[in-house]
Chain A
Amino acid sequence: MANTFRMGGVHPEPNKLTAGMKIEPAALPKQAVFPLSQHIGAPAVPCVQKGDRVLVGTKIAEPGGFMSAFIHSSVSGKVAKIDTIVDASGQRKPAIFIDVEGDEWEPSIDRSDKVALQCDMAASDIIDKIRNAGVVGMGGACFPTHVKLCPPKDCKIDTLIINAVECEPYLTADHRLMLEYSDQIIVGIRIILRALGIDRAVIGIEENKPDAIELMKMKTAMVSGIEVMPLKMRYPQGGEKQLIEAVTGRQVPPPPALPANVGCVVQNVGTVFAIYEAVQKNKPLFERIVTVTGKSVSNPCNLKVRMGTPVSQLIEQAGGMPQDTGKLISGGPMMGRPLLGTEAPVVKGTSGILMLPEKDAVRREERNCIRCAKCVQACPMGLEPYLLGTASENADWETAEENWITSCIECGCCQSTCPSRRPLLDWVRLGKNKVNGIIRARNAKK
């Protein structure tokens, strides 16, 4: 029996339409747009000006603080302007616009296909390289990777967990990456192990990807310390805390505790690939795999996309937007965010573009809570979503805080199981934001 996490979770339809589609390169955009906040933490600060010429891989923005990341150009051309754009968050944010001219790469980037196996660098050099390449968590949260690889001094790390679960329905970017770049991923894992100074890594893969499990098992058979663990299919297994529990049986205490407190570091398989490219090939993070999919999309596909490419171009490559599209989502159907328009650019955290048909997308009318406790059963964090939802609807932030609203991982299980179609996650998100603000203000006062 395969492992999984203990409580909660749901079983959405997998709908992995693109699991068998090879990764294809996406066409270069005419103009690439780079929002300055593509990661958690402070927005980056532009280090180019209007009219500057840049190459593929040129740094265009510097970190705006410790918790921040570099941004590199994914195209060669001229900086057209530094203006604002509506990004995937639905807000208007500052961004750098670059007009594409040709495709000229920085000479330092190794563009050969050969897998570079050897890495003898010191841990600090590896982390420095990762930082300079602007690598962030590719699972969707976009946590700066170099910060994650420097755990607090008092935490002893013993296990590196590779998140290859991809529990979100529809998305297949990580799945395809494992099938097509398995050697690079193994090297990437060895680099992270070296950076952390440990010797045990576990790759967690859900059972609905038997081909990936088999391939990774075969590739890791000869490598000591790396183990592949098939996991039972269940959403949200790709959540950091759920994955740690599924793989090691350890439970991460509520915030402000980190996974490092239980001796684990979790990295997404996409991040591992980005780390490989950054360290072995000197290639900054400016490309990623994006699944463009939807039930009525004529040509759903997995694309290797340069960051900054407008979503409209990917949709075109997938055969255009279907007539019955009700919602355009960046990411998966569970945790993705609705896009306000097709001009939003692909950023570091864009794992998929999903076109949901009208009948699947529209929320039905909300009714009263009938106290069936389905949300409580579904919550993978053991919270009481109905209570948190009501507390934040009534602006009762004390109750929300006492009931651990800050532990919510915003997976949306509660909302998807609610028979009264209550917008629980919306309210809990609001409450979590407010309570986090209150806690920050309180800590600042101390």
Chain B
Amino acid sequence: MSPILTAVLVLGITGLVLGIVLFVVARKFAVEEDPRIGQITGLLPGANCGGCGFPGCAAFAEACVKRDSMDGMKCSVCKSEVMQQIAAITGHEVEAGAAKVAVVRCDGSCENRPRVNFYDGASSCAVAAMQTGGETGCFYGCLGCGDCVGACKFGAIEMDPETGLPVVDQEKCTACGACAKACPRGIIELRNRNKLDRRIYVCCVNRDKGPVAKKACAVACIGCGKCVKACQFEAITLENNLAYIDFEKCRLCRKCVDECPQHTIHAVNFPPRKPAAVAPETEQSAVAPKAEAAPNPVEQNS
């Protein structure tokens, strides 16, 4: 027999035998995976952002199938229809949570918050927060090194070179919360999107006393409490010299925005006010551009 034929025969027979063994083993030891896991994984975005609290989309899908209810299970990236579909597959009810968006609660731009220092360490907010109080007199606000930008898996957050502050692209933001976790100062918060993406929030997290905060930043919350009095829905609380608007209670009336002497309360995506408003003319003109300032860069980005 020619050596070629021998080689073909030996390899052919070995291949056939091993193939049969593999087939038998695969049949006998097959792992039964719930087909629903595959279906759900297919519906999920596959970004593995971790916003749901699980290591990845597959882990989330597995947990959806295994759990008895969908309580607390929410893929922040998916629209509510997708969540309904997932719920239909698992056979459980899903709560229709409000859509959220990341909000940067600091307006300490170069103009509003003068630099009093110089930080030249590693360009990371975490390092900067650990080693110094930052470059400005405010010990609570944005450090400007962009840890949040690095954390975003969706390219929805970018540093504005002019203000030195991060800007959230509300179209791309999926409210996974990675940026909020990455920020060592905790300035980023997930807030309800509301109708037409209208939001009112206190754009400051400075808990210093009024004069100290005001000295550090021209638009810092000084804890005067005027907004608390102005609010008819008890949505605003004042704690540690800092006002906070509860987005569940806020009815978007914008009374607080007019009242704030520091223009710290931002109202975004609202149409411009009609001239005949309650507040005096001068204050009005000062407030209006403020309210418009935030959404503008977003529109440019998207």
Contact = CB atoms under 8 A, between A and B. Distances in A.
Interface of A: 84, 86, 90-92, 337-338, 340-341, 362-363, 393, 423, 426-427, 429-430, 433
Contact of B133 (A90, A362, A363): A90
Contacts of A84: 208, 212
Contact of B132 (A90, A362, A393): A90
A430 B125 CA distance: 11
Given A362-B120, A393-B122, A427-B122, 19 more contacts: A84-B212, A90-B132, A90-B133, A91-B139, A92-B133, A340-B133, A341-B116, A363-B121, A423-B122, A423-B127, A426-B121, A426-B131, A427-B127, A429-B130, A430-B122, A430-B124, A430-B126, A430-B127, A430-B130
28 contacts: A84-B212, A86-B139, A90-B132, A90-B133, A91-B139, A92-B139, A337-B131, A338-B132, A340-B117, A340-B132, A341-B116, A363-B120, A363-B121, A393-B122, A393-B124, A423-B121, A423-B122, A426-B121, A426-B122, A426-B124, A426-B131, A427-B122, A427-B127, A429-B130, A430-B122, A430-B124, A430-B130, A433-B130
Given A423-B121, A426-B121, A427-B122, A90 B131 contact: yes
Nearest to B128: A426
Contacts of B127: 423, 426-427, 429-430
Given A363-B120, A430-B124, A86 B133 contact: yes
A340 B122 contact: no
A21 to B, nearest CB: 30
A91 B133 contact: yes
Nearest to A434: B126
Interface string B207-218: 010001000000
A129 B116 CA distance: 43
Interface residues of B, number: 15
Interface in B106-138: 116-117, 120-122, 124, 126-127, 130-133
A340 B121 contact: no
A433 B212 CA distance: 29
A340 B127 CA distance: 16
Contacts of A337: 131
A339 to B, nearest CB: 10
Q: Which 5 A-B pairs have the closest CB atoms?
A: A426-B122, A423-B122, A90-B132, A363-B120, A90-B133
A410 to B, nearest CB: 11
Chain A interface mostly: mixed
Contacts of A426: 121-122, 124, 127, 131
A30 B279 CA distance: 46
B136 to A, nearest CB: 10
Nearest to B120: A363
A341 B136 CA distance: 11
A268 B133 CA distance: 29
Nearest to A327: B118
B7 to A, nearest CB: 48
Contacts of A92: 133, 139, 208
Contacts of A393: 122, 124
Contacts of B120: 362-363
Contacts of A423: 121-122, 127
A393 B132 CA distance: 18
Nearest to B138: A92
A433 B184 CA distance: 13
A299 B214 CA distance: 37
A338 B121 CA distance: 11
Contacts of B131: 90, 337, 426, 429
B118 to A, nearest CB: 8
A137 B130 CA distance: 23
B149 to A, nearest CB: 15
Contacts of A90: 131-133
Contacts of B208: 84, 92
A423 B131 CA distance: 12
A255 B121 CA distance: 27
A329 to B, nearest CB: 12
A393 B133 CA distance: 20
Interface in B141-182: none
Contacts of B121: 363, 423, 426
A120 to B, nearest CB: 47
- Most chain-B CB neighbours within 10 Å: which of A84, A90, A423? A90
B74 to A, nearest CB: 25
A397 to B, nearest CB: 12
A423 B132 CA distance: 15
A429 B131 CA distance: 9
A335 to B, nearest CB: 13
Contacts of A362: 120
- Most chain-A CB neighbours within 10 Å: which of B122, B139, B208? B122
- Most chain-B CB neighbours within 10 Å: which of A340, A341, A393? A340
A429 B127 CA distance: 8
Interface string B63-79: 00000000000000000
Contacts of B116: 340-341
B151 to A, nearest CB: 10
Contacts of B130: 429-430, 433
Contacts of A363: 120-121
A393 B125 CA distance: 11
A282 B68 CA distance: 69
Contacts of A91: 133, 139
Contacts of A430: 122, 124, 126-127, 130
A311 to B, nearest CB: 15
A60 B122 CA distance: 38
- Most chain-B CB neighbours within 10 Å: which of A84, A338, A341, A430? A430
A105 to B, nearest CB: 34
Interface in B223-268: none
Nearest to B119: A338
A146 B116 CA distance: 39
A132 B117 CA distance: 38
A44 B301 CA distance: 50
Contacts of B139: 86, 91-92
- Most chain-A CB neighbours within 10 Å: which of B116, B127, B139? B127
Contacts of A427: 122, 124, 127
Nearest to B136: A340
Contacts of B117: 340
Nearest to A326: B118
Nearest to A430: B127
A429 B139 CA distance: 20
A86 B122 CA distance: 22
